Amino acid sequence: MTIGDNGFIKELNYKTVLDTIRTKGAVSRADVSRLTGLTRSTCTVICDRMLKQGIIIETGTVGSTGGRPPILLQINNRAGAVLGLKMMEDMIAGATVDLGGNIIQQQSWEMRPGLDMETYLPRFEEFVQDIIGKHRNSYPLIPMLGIGIGVGGRVSSDGVLIKSSVLGWRDVSLKKRLQKRFSMPVHIENDVNTFAIGEKFFGAGVHYENFLSLSVGEGIGLGIIIDGKLFAGSHHGAGELGHTRISFDSQAPYCTCGKQGCLESFTSDRAIIGMYNQETGKTFQINEIIQKASEGDPHALKVFKIMGRYLGIAVSSLVNIFDPQAVIIGGERTNASQFFIKELSTAMQENTVYDLAKDVDLIVLEPSNNEWIRGVAALAIREFFSATTNWRQ
């Protein structure tokens, strides 16, 4: 379609209105007109169509200075649900999520680590079947619209798992296989990218067009949102921040990728455990080191400060390159952010050129076990919303 094409403009207007209602919450038709710049009559036609389709609902009225109080519109969260899934070596987890990002049901199955693909995938499919079956039994009126899957590794734009260091597989046509098996759209993405998409769609990034999401924990991952969209790179491999080399010292620690001196080998959980061991000669698990930091152990506090400084320097380079509106920090290690965020912030400010970091919002997410669900669900829901103009017509 080309610009000027009537159908194209109608579709664009529909998406603009839908996106406005979705991101602004309860709004009146007049608000929609004001926020989108579309005429009142165009907005009314589009909103009436959405009401008929069941994708939005009228939620009540607001006080008015005179005349009839305006009726508010919002997304009908229960107009559909998606299934978000996470594939890990020792566990598969899934949740059905409504269009507002609210979890309806969730479950997980343990897996025996080291399973080959031929054993893992049938078990995974059994899991998916089980959770879909439960959803259909409990919520027959909420249609299942699609599946979103997050996995550690490199995933192509057409849903081929090119390489997963987590699962040890290569070149698996996951999307094709699962779409055939479950007869619904399947979207697969690298788990760090799903985190960025989730924040843009439901989370701290909703009102930013350009931001970076940094995932901190076992590894260091980067998601890049530019002009409101994920930037995945020319070969779907962008964001490997953890494996940028930051030390050329021949004694620099080895990284899980096999190379030496990567950022990750100074900032991941494994690095913190290693640094603590160097400081004290003792080996503890990451949660024990966090506990020690919270009790004031100077060695534990020191290693988190070093880690924060390394991360802050890395973030300053990113700010120099991308000039983002915000940097959002998530991942498991946000549960220790109080021990490293000050150093991260200072290093970011000190090492950025032209004071670029001054106006960058540094946001640390609350530690949550369910952060991933928002990401994988958003993967499927955003596709639904962008394809929704023809829904139930």
- List contacts with Zn ion (CB under 5 A): 243, 255, 257, 259, 262
**Distance in angstroms (rounded) separating the CA atoms of residues 249 and 304:** 21
Nearer to Zn ion, 85 or 255 (CB): 255
**Minimum separation from the CB atom of position 78 to Zn ion (A):** 44
Termini Cα distance of the chain: 20
**Distance in angstroms (rounded) separating the CA atoms of residues 108 and 114:** 18
**Minimum separation from the CB atom of position 241 to Zn ion (A):** 10
Q: Which helix (H) or strand (E) holds 78?
A: none
**Distance in angstroms (rounded) separating the CA atoms of residues 356 and 58:** 43
**Side-chain half-sphere CA neighbours of 161 within 13 A:** 24
Among positive and negative, which fits the CA dihedral 214, 215, 217, 218? negative
Q: Which residue has the tokens 């046509």?
A: 173
**Minimum separation from the CB atom of position 255 to Zn ion (A):** 3
Tell me the three state secondary structure of residue 243.
helix
Nearer to Zn ion, 214 or 225 (CB): 214
Beta bridge partners of 254: 260
Amino acid type, 295: E
**Minimum separation from the CB atom of position 245 to Zn ion (A):** 8
**Minimum separation from the CB atom of position 247 to Zn ion (A):** 11
CB 367 within 8 A of CB 336: no
**Distance in angstroms (rounded) separating the CA atoms of residues 315 and 323:** 11
Nearer to Zn ion, 270 or 342 (CB): 270
Nearer to Zn ion, 214 or 255 (CB): 255
**Minimum separation from the CB atom of position 362 to Zn ion (A):** 25
Amino acid type, 285: Q
Nearer to Zn ion, 49 or 270 (CB): 270
Nearer to Zn ion, 85 or 220 (CB): 220
Nearer to Zn ion, 35 or 252 (CB): 252
Tokens for 204, please give them. Answer: 């701290």
Nearer to Zn ion, 256 or 335 (CB): 256
**3-state DSSP percent of the chain in helix, strand and coil, to 5:** 45, 20, 30
**Side-chain half-sphere CA neighbours of 40 within 13 A:** 2
**Minimum separation from the CB atom of position 23 to Zn ion (A):** 37
**Minimum separation from the CB atom of position 248 to Zn ion (A):** 14
